[in-house]
Amino acid sequence: MLRAKHKTGLVFFPAFDWAISPTHPEREERLLYTQDQVFEEGILDVEGIIEYKPDLVTKKDVQRVHFCVPDLWAVMTESHFISAGGAKTIAMAVMDKQVERGFALVRPPGHHANRVVHGARGFCNVNIEAIMVEFIRQAYGVNRVAIVDTDCHHGDGTQDIYWHDPDTLFISIHQDGRTLYPGSGFLSELGGPNAVGSTINIPLPPNTSGEGILHAIREVVLPLLKEFQPEIVINSAGQDNHYSDPITNMNFSAQGYAELTTLLKPDIAVLEGGYAIEGALPYVNAGIILAMAGMDYSHLREPDFDPVKIRQSPEVSRWVHKTCDKVLENWHQRRHLAEMYRGDYQFMNRDRNIYYDTDNIHEHQQETIRVCDSCGGALKIDSAARGMKHILAVHIPRKACETCRKQGYQWYDSADTTQYDKIYLQDRTGDVIKEKAEPS
């Protein structure tokens, strides 16, 4: 009987009865051929590859991360409870040491969902990785976490959630934001004033192939992980860098994904995007599972795989190398950059417009963070969605210092309910969720 070198847990939840809309890329059919391939290859029979049935996440699991507007039930469908639950199930299997590693092959995805949620953007409602990470922090006392997002689109939602968290290293490798949704994820995006350098963006030019992506992994991601020393490494395993993906322009392959997984050795991988449902996903997913389990994937390739056709040009290589060098330079100077950024400010503001492409919502945010040397800093977000709700959200980070905690409560307690539709509080020091509103 075949044996996995690394005991690997798998949640496979294709949600065969859920779609954003009948012809949307995020539809019932998305993981159908992946299921066919994984079943036909007999991967689930391998000893040491264990399939788990997903549990549901609780309301609290979601509210620990998100401010859902107007409430949780408006932004979560049954399917989101399961897909986030699938990630949580895998995380528990890893943390309980039932398996060495785990892969949540679930949909719908989550990495475009911000801390404040008015609706769906980039096919995402809630951030399933963040819900999982905050759960394991709460339940298992994990502190330092690295999230490596290898989806072709910038993981802007995860970046937003961890922007001010010095204990979460978020690295996103993606197609340059000037050429692809969501149009962010540039070199200069390095994290908030209390967490400069804990957000790392590696934007790669269109037509980057395996050579370039694996260069970024070897030369940037692995050294950064080594220095950051995370207790746990998570891979947001989007599969839309594939050469056949219909909505992106990269040239990655199933072999490349498997090799990336072998190099990165994530404790937990969570599926994100990837919409070449016939030509890529069946092979990429099989490759990722085999790589996680430490099994041979050398015979795995797409039917139309042609390494010559997808080889990257010297120009692309030069661009990739230059980008990687710049990322490393920023990383090494992060403390200096933080000082310059913070200056003498006690509070810093961010003013942003956020567009929800999936639900066509325009949100305007004004964010205030308390500059703090001792913790992630108290955070206040004033958020208004055009023609919809206006809320105030206060976040007190997990390891908040007493001053920031007090600041958070002062913001929450003094907020005027007549000014907002709702006022929210996440006090992560005590895992307390509160909200208040004018009686309607």
Partner 1 sequence: MIIGLDVGGTHTDVVLLGQEGLVRQIKVPTNPSDLFATVLTGLEKITEGIDPARISRAVLSTTLATNRIVQGRIPEVGMIVSAGPGMDPELFRTGPHYHTVAGAIDHRGREITPIDEDQVIKVAEDLKKNGIRYVGVVSKFSVRNPAHEVAIGDLIVDRFEKVFLGHRIAGGLNFPRRIATTYLNASVYPIHKDFFEAVVNSLAKKGLNVPIRILKPDGGNMRFDASIDHPAQTILSGPAASVMGSVAFAPRDEECLVLDIGGTTTDMAVLVNGVPLLDPMGISIGEHQTLIRSLDTVSIGVGGDSAVRVVNGKIHIGPDRLGMAMAYGGPVPTPTDAIFLLGIGEGGDPEKAREGIQTVADALGTDLQDAANRVFEQACRTILDEAESMIGRINAKPVYTVHELWEGHRLQPRQILVLGGPAPWFAKGLERLSESRITVVPRWEVANAIGAGLARTTCEVTFFADTERQIATAPEERFSTVIPSTYTKEDAIKATLDLLRRKAIARGANPEHLELEVIEAMSFNMVRGFTTTGRNIRVTAQVKPGLIHGYDPIAEKIMDNSFT
C-alpha to C-alpha distance for 331 and 368, rounded to whole angstroms: 25
Contact range with partner 1 by CB under 8 A, out of 35-43, 123-131, 186-194, 235-243: 35-43
Q: How many residues bind partner 1 (CB under 8 A)?
A: 47
What distance in Å separates the CA atoms of residue 253 and residue 283, rounded to the nearest whole number? Answer: 9
Residue 256 touching partner 1 (CB under 8 A): no
Strand, helix or coil for residue 235: strand
Quote the least distance from Cβ 118 to partner 1, whole Å.
23
Q: Which stretch binds partner 1 (CB under 8 A): 151-159, 294-302, 306-314, 325-333?
A: 294-302
Closest CA to 11 of 33, 31, 41: 31
Question: By CB under 8 A, which span of 42-50, 57-65, 182-190, 371-379 interacts with partner 1?
Answer: 42-50
Rounded Cα gap, residues 330 and 185, in angstroms: 14
Quick one: which of 27, 59, 342, 362 contacts partner 1 (CB under 8 A)? 27
125 counts as binding partner 1 under rule CB under 8 A: no
Residue 20 in the binding site for partner 1 (CB under 8 A): no
Q: Who's near 18: CB < 8 A, 6+ residues apart?
A: 28, 77, 78, 79, 107, 108
CA atoms of 208 and 206, how far apart (whole Å): 6
**Is the peptide bond preceding residue 14 cis, with omega within 30 degrees of 0?**
no
What is the H or E stretch that residue 402 is in?
helix 402-414
The single residue among 16, 186, 345, 347 that binds partner 1, judged by CB under 8 A, is: 16
Binding window for partner 1 (CB under 8 A); candidates: 24-32, 213-221, 264-272, 392-400: 24-32
Q: Which is nearer to partner 1, 223 or 246 (CB)?
A: 246
| Structure tokens that stand for 226 in this block | 């080594």
Distance CA(6)–CA(182), nearest Å, equals 36
Q: Is 17 in the site for partner 1 (CB under 8 A)?
A: yes
Rounded (10°) CA dihedral 97, 98, 104, 105: 150
- Is there a contact between 262 and 291 (Cβ–Cβ < 8 Å)? yes
Spot the catalytic one: 80, 112, 153, 174. 112
Q: Determine if 246 is a binding residue for partner 1 (CB under 8 A).
A: yes
Considering the rule CB under 8 A, would residue 73 count as an interface residue with partner 1?
no
Of the two residues 265 and 301, which places its CB atom closer to partner 1 in the complex? 301
**82 or 126, CB closer to partner 1?**
82
Report the DSSP beta bridge partners of residue 353: 364
**Cβ closest to partner 1, residue 99 vs residue 316:** 99
> Distances in Å between the alpha carbon of 61 and those of 69, 98, 250, 264, 384?
16, 22, 35, 27, 24
Contact segment (CB under 8 A) with partner 1 among 96-104, 150-158, 205-213, 302-310 equals 302-310
Among 8, 37, 127, 158, binds partner 1 (CB under 8 A): 37
Residue 165 and residue 49: Cα distance in Å, rounded? Answer: 34
Least distance in angstroms from the C-beta of 90 to partner 1:
12
Cβ-based nearer residue to partner 1, 80 or 164: 80
Q: How far is the CB of 73 from partner 1 (least distance, A)?
A: 14
Give the nearest distance from C-beta 21 to partner 1 in angstroms.
Answer: 10
Residue 32 interacts with partner 1 (CB under 8 A)?
Answer: yes
Shortest approach of partner 1 to residue 235 CB, angstroms? 22
Those residues with Cβ within 8 angstroms of residue 309's Cβ, 6 or more apart along the chain or in another chain: 243
Question: How far apart (Å, rounded) are the C-alpha atoms in residues 265 and 305?
Answer: 25
- Considering the complex, state which of residue 82 and residue 142 has its C-beta at the smaller distance from partner 1: 82
Contact call for residue 299 and partner 1 (CB under 8 A): yes
Considering the complex, what minimum distance in angstroms separates the CB of residue 405 from partner 1? 38
- Exposed (0-12), middle (13-18) or buried (19+): which is 247, by Cβ within 10 Å? middle
Distance CA 151, CA 288 (A): 14
Q: Is 112 a catalytic residue?
A: yes
Q: Which of 122, 177, 256, 282 binds partner 1 (CB under 8 A)?
A: 282
Residue among 231, 278, 421, 431 that touches partner 1 (CB under 8 A) = 278
Smallest gap from residue 330 Cβ to partner 1 (A):
40
Q: How far apart are CA 330 and CA 187, in angstroms?
A: 8
Contacts of partner 1 in 322-351 (CB under 8 A): none
Closest CA to 259 of 195, 215, 303: 215
List contacts with partner 1 (CB under 8 A): 1-2, 11-18, 22-23, 27-29, 32-33, 35-37, 39-43, 45, 51-54, 78-79, 82, 246, 278, 282-283, 286, 290, 296, 298-303, 305
Catalytic residue positions? 112
